[in-house]
């Protein structure tokens, strides 16, 4: 019986040593990522005057570096492809905990899917490579992406694929030094694409509530909130814009693009919903002008 107990003790000790050592493996995962913005966020290394937030419309359509030059304030882009407003709210909460409070938040609305029940997700997969940071680990457990064992066991915090493979850098996950991801000017990829009319979209009350919470958080922290409506390569969805403005507080500025982006040769678009670098430069100029005229 004593021998059996000794074996259990030795096994437990070996497992504890290996599990503790595995944390070193977890610490190496962020280094391999093409996009390390979430690491910069949680370690307090952004501290921008102007923060850009949203989904791929933010990541591709607004260029933080150009915004800096035109407005003469530091800017950083925290737009993440395929993410919903609930994810954006959580990102903003983390940002405020770890970085200085921005003066301005430019929130790029995903037209027409911002409040849609099916479109856009809370992308826990973006957090997984940074699970060595306790805030992300706790959120992954809360979202059900990790077992509760991950509270104490490092082995429970990642899969083999996450820990031991190196992600490939692509057009869609490569960001510049200020967090933006300008898309190349090349052959248009959106022929035949079109959006569902806003009237067919099923609104999600949770997403609407989180948009309200985002506005509340900005007001509480004295942040000037600008909700920017970017162009799609089709006519403006007036119904969506009306719905969005109904959800905006009086303190929230709502800006809709002004210039004409749609052309017969799709000069300014990468696909139906994303501007290429030429278009992103123009939209960034629009936002810069708006910010300068509305300090």
Element spanning 77, H or E: strand 75-79
> In angstroms, how far is the first alpha carbon of the chain from the final one?
76
Structural contact between residues 207 and 83, judged by C-beta atoms closer than 8 angstroms = no
Task: Report pLDDT for 198.
Answer: 47
DSSP assigned state of 200 = G
Residue with tokens 């992600």: 167
Task: Report pLDDT for 38.
Answer: 97
Task: Report pLDDT for 94.
Answer: 98
Task: Report pLDDT for 173.
Answer: 79
10 token code pair: 């030795």
Q: Are strands 269-271 and 274-275 parallel, antiparallel or unpaired?
A: antiparallel
Please compute, for residue 95, the number of CA atoms within 13 A of its CA located in the half-sphere on the CB side: 28
What angle (nearest 5°) sits at the alpha carbon of residue 258, between those of residues 181 and 225?
65
Q: Which domains are present in the chain?
A: 40-120+169-293 (3.40.50.1110)
Task: Report pLDDT for 15.
Answer: 47
With a cut of 70, list the residues of the chain below it in pLDDT: 1-24, 151-157, 159-164, 191-200
Q: Which three-class secondary structure state does DSSP give residue 100?
A: coil
At 119-138, the pLDDT tens digits run: 899 999 999 999 989 999 89
Task: Report pLDDT for 192.
Answer: 60
């Amino acid at each position: 019986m004593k021998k059996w107990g000794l074996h259990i003790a030795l096994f437990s000790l070996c497992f504890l040593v290996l599990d503790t050592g595995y944390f070193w493996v977890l610490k190496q995962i962020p280094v391999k990522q093409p996009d390390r913005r979430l690491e910069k966020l949680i370690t307090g290394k952004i501290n921008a005057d102007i923060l850009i937030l949203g989904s791929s419309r933010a990541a591709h359509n607004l260029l933080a570096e150009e915004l800096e030059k035109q407005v003469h304030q530091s800017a950083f882009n925290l737009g993440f492809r395929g993410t919903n407003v609930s994810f954006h709210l959580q990102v903003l909460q983390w940002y405020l905990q770890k970085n200085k409070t921005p003066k301005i938040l430019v929130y790029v609305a995903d037209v027409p899917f911002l409040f849609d029940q099916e479109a856009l997700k809370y992308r826990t997969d973006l957090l997984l490579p940074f699970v060595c940071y306790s805030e992300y680990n706790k959120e992954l457990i809360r979202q059900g992406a990790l077992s509760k064992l991950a509270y104490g066991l490092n082995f429970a915090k990642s899969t083999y694929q996450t820990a031991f493979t190196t992600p490939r850098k692509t057009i869609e996950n490569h960001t510049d030094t200020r967090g933006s991801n300008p898309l190349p000017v090349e052959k248009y990829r959106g022929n035949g694409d079109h959006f569902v009319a806003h009237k067919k979209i099923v609104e999600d009350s949770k997403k609407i509530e989180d948009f309200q919470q985002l506005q509340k958080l900005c007001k509480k922290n004295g942040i000037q909130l600008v909700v920017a409506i970017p162009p799609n390569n089709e006519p403006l969805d007036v119904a969506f814009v009306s719905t969005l403005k109904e959800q905006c507080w009086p303190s929230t500025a709502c800006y809709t693009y002004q210039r004409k982006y749609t052309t017969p040769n799709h000069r300014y678009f990468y696909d139906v919903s994303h501007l290429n670098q030429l278009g992103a430069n123009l939209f960034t100029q629009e936002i810069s002008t708006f910010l300068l005229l509305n300090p």
